[in-house]
Amino acid sequence: HPRFLPRSPYPLLPCSLLSCFVYSPLLFCCCIREMGFFGRSKDPASASSSSVQKEIKKGASATALDFSKRQLQDIPANIRNAQATELILSENDITGIPEELAEMPNLAVLDLTKNRINGLDPCVGRMKNLRELYLANNKLFYCPITPELGKLSGLRKLDLSSNQLDELPMCIASLASLTHLDLSNNAIKELLPEYG
């Protein structure tokens, strides 16, 4: 059975198939819209930043990239050159949001669910095209750069569930386009008056 990217109707191509096209013009054909890199190898070394760096180069024109469950601790710098609108980095060991993600020109959906992120980096505020941000199941116990998150005027979906937040981030009041907010499974005891 084919696997699908979250929130996407397009099936992922197994790497066993993708490997056939490494040197083929088909890899760069405009009809290729989504690339996933699941089941690439049982060798732990395949989860390294260097292997992902090569895969980013191969899928530079894909509209969605899935690097979930790769044991990644950092994201290769060449991610800034990817044209993807959707980037899936869930279930890794990432601890922060790198500057390179803010330089991706078309990024609209960023999924960092189930990582080890404990705060929001300043670069978040520069992701002007971001529409959906998924940060569930991380280590967020406070938002040290809350004004940066508040700059995402086009953000529609924000998932901060299953973290360690004990109060509602004030920056949420600035998110005028927000239609979906998930704060479940946190330690928040009360809402501010404007949210009550």
Summarised one tens digit per residue, pLDDT across range 82-127 is 999 999 999 999 999 999 999 999 999 999 999 999 988 889 999 9
Domain total of the chain: 1
Q: Which domain covers residue 30, as residue numbers?
A: 15-195
- The answer as to whether 7 is a domain residue is no
Check: CB of residue 105 under 8 Å from CB of residue 126.
no
Q: Is the pLDDT of residue 18 over 50?
A: no
d(CA 101, CA 80): 6
How high is the pLDDT of residue 136?
97
Confidence grade of residue 146 (pLDDT, cut at 50, 70, 90): low
- The answer as to whether 82 is a domain residue is yes
Q: Is the pLDDT of residue 41 over 60?
A: no
- The answer as to whether 3 is a domain residue is no
- The answer as to whether 9 is a domain residue is no
Q: Greater confidence, 142 or 74?
A: 74
Q: Is the pLDDT of residue 14 over 60?
A: no
3-state secondary structure 75-95: CCHHHHHCCCCEEECCCCCCC
How high is the pLDDT of residue 38?
44
pTM for the complete prediction? 0.74
- The answer as to whether 56 is a domain residue is yes
- The answer as to whether 47 is a domain residue is yes
Which residues have CB under 8 Å from 192's CB, separation 6+?
168, 170
d(CA 22, CA 96): 31
Q: Is the pLDDT of residue 195 over 80?
A: no
Q: Is the pLDDT of residue 70 over 50?
A: yes
- The answer as to whether 10 is a domain residue is no
Please report, to the nearest 10 degrees, the dihedral formed by the alpha carbons of residues 49, 115, 121, 77 taken in order: 10
pLDDT in tens, 119-129: 888 899 999 99
Q: Is the pLDDT of residue 180 over 80?
A: yes
Which residue type, as a one-letter code, is found at position 162? S
Average pLDDT, the chain: 79
Confidence grade of residue 188 (pLDDT, cut at 50, 70, 90): confident
Which domain CATH number covers 44?
Answer: 3.80.10.10
- DSSP designation for 44: G
- The answer as to whether 5 is a domain residue is no
Q: Is the pLDDT of residue 19 over 50?
A: no
